[in-house]
Amino acid sequence: MFGKLFGRDAERPVADPHALPVPRRQKNGTYPLRALGDTRVLALVEAADAGDWEAVKEALAPFDLGRDHAVLGQLADLDGVQDWIGRAVEEDKEHRATALLISGARHISWGWEARTSALAVNVTQEQWRVFHERLEIAEEQLLEAAELRPDWVTPWRRLLTSGRGMSLGPAVNETRRDAALRRDPLDLETHIEWVSQLQPRWSGEPGQALAFAREAFAGAPDGHRLGCVVAMAHIEEWVESDNRDCLQDPRIRTELREAAERSILHHSYERRLGWQGDYNIFAMALSLAGSSKASNVFRELDGVFTEWPWTFMADPQKAYARFRKAF
């Protein structure tokens, strides 16, 4: 099954030349997805980890960082990037927009690392100070990147995250959302970010996020990954609720099953780089809803685990393994 997962199925005449080798699985049969399962992304991550800007630029050649959220996310979450990317911003005028994008995205992740995932009342004044300091840098850099490359969608999606963290308010964040969606009306990551924005913990109203997700997916073609926004909206409802069984409703099961069948399980769905993240979103949502359709999703994943969205649980990979075994 893993061969099929990375394009090495016997029925396919050409093997995927960029697929990473299968890593050793844990005892529960699962393993985290590394570098999106792609040798080119691994080369990019290794270059960034070494602080080698020239090698990073070379490794970026196959990708469109202005639209590829998954690849940008690999750099944004990599500790140490903040130590050298500033030099690239200042010294490489030709690739300044790319350096600004990477630095801005990294400063947002780095800011949240300082804040931690604790409730606001439990975040210290020093943590708040560092958090806002890093987000302010991110804001400045991402806005400049967006100005330099007006066709890019990734700066606007990241600015939604920093705008939420800095409590810039609905008017600013709606403008940023609209800027992203003008560039790609079906951009999944922007929709998922807005689903988070609409949660009560961020001053949204109950039901807003789910209504937004349903309307967005209704306008998407069959086989589009935007179906994940419906699954994510239900996961967010579960996060907000005090009832751990709140998704155990036949109507929710039906909606999630139909969304999966019209998106990731549809024959038109394109398994592009990072597709395992889409499947993990549905795996979690369907599992929480108690839907037997979760077995189809876990079967296709064949043990491949992505941190998001399981990070909402205390021990993400163990939760994944537990649900996988149950279905």
**Structure confidence by residue, pLDDT tens digits, 18-33:** 989 888 888 889 999 9
121 confidence band (pLDDT: 50, 70, 90): confident
14 confidence band (pLDDT: 50, 70, 90): low
pLDDT, tens digit (0-9, with 9 covering 90-100), for 259-306: 999 999 999 999 999 999 999 999 999 999 999 999 999 999 999 999
The reported pTM is 0.92
CA-wise closest residue to 92 among 56, 62, 137, 65: 56
Phi, psi of 176 (to 5 degrees): -70, -40
Phi, psi of 32 (to 5 degrees): -75, 145
Phi, psi of 275 (to 5 degrees): -60, -25
**How far is the CA of 173 from the CAs of 3, 127, 170, 176, in angstroms?**
42, 23, 5, 5
48 confidence band (pLDDT: 50, 70, 90): very high
- Could you tell me which residues are beta bridge partners of residue 32? 305
Say if CB 283 and CB 301 are below 8 A apart. yes
